[in-house]
Amino acid sequence: EAQVTQNPRYLITVTGKKLTVTCSQNMNHEYMSWYRQDPGLGLRQIYYSMNVEVTDKGDVPEGYKVSRKEKRNFPLILESPSPNQTSLYFCASSLGQVVANEQFFGPGTRLTVL
């Protein structure tokens, strides 16, 4: 089954404790992206990657890192999480760089930083 998976689905952590949220897709998509969803703000892009070893900042990159060493994986790293990073996070992928291509979303990771 074609899908985007994220782990963990739920995470409660404390300020400053490094964490990684994994994202994997099995559709051989070049483009991958991370969004955060906050009430009243919709979804905002954090980082994106057009292909292996090619990443760039989105609209809200502060406090986050990403890497793209393999085509299927795009982990999101919070080196020193803070309470304002409490949010619902979504990973997405799409085929190529054509803007009309559908983006497939993972199920989301709900992060709480205390």
> In whole angstroms, what is the distance from residue 22 CA to residue 8 CA?
7
Residue 62 lies near other proteins (rule: CB under 8 A): no
- Rounded CA-CA distance 43/87 in Å is 10
Stretch that binds other proteins, among 13-21, 62-70, 76-84, 97-105 (CB under 8 A): 97-105
| HSE-up (13 A, CA, CB side) for residue 52 | 5
Asked if 106 interacts with other proteins (CB under 8 A), we say: yes
Binding site for other proteins (CB under 8 A): 4, 31, 33, 35, 40-45, 48, 50, 56, 58, 90, 92, 94, 97-103, 105-108
